[in-house]
Amino acid sequence: MNSFLFFLAVIFLISAIIYFIFFFESMFVGHDLSTNKQTQKIIEDILKKHNLTEKKFYDLGCCRGTFALRLQKTFPKMQITGIDSSFLRILMAKLLNGWQKSNINFIKNDIFKINISEADVVYTWLWYSLLPKLENKFQKELKPGTIIICNESYLPELRPIETYKLGNDPARFEKVYVYKIPNN
């Protein structure tokens, strides 16, 4: 019985350490939230509507990759790349990717320094304060016709081609914004 209790104590300690590492990292690196299933369903509908289910999808600020992994199950022919600046988040995403035998490319990098010009679809759920700089990057790097999907935060200059409200509760303000890089 003592060895069983020791085993449980070790598992609890390891779990607590991992939790606190992610907690403190999220305080300094940024939020670590996964896209919820309701929002994912809206995004899946957007991808189907625009015939993007077999295209190149970039998840900027992918965190632990849970959204990208769920999306890969729905659209197995989609080429998904998840990018995050956190070593721990990308490590967790790669571990989950290997465990689920997915073929997502998870990259630890700064989203402002990595080339995203190959993307057909870009998804973000980032702080609003980052979006003006990110919008500038989009306009410089993305090819005409690229679809951008923003969860909650919106791009300040581009006008959305579609907007989806999350839920029917009037107190909720969350929206999904869809943009298309124009032909110049």
Q: Where are the domains of the chain?
A: 1-30, 34-180
pTM of the model: 0.81
pLDDT tens readout for residues 14-50? 766 666 555 555 545 555 567 788 888 999 999 999 9
* Mean pLDDT over each residue of the chain, to the nearest integer: 86
pLDDT of residue 32: 55
pLDDT of residue 64: 82
Residue 82 is encoded by which pair of tokens?
């998840």
If one looks up domain 34-180 in CATH, what number appears?
3.40.50.150
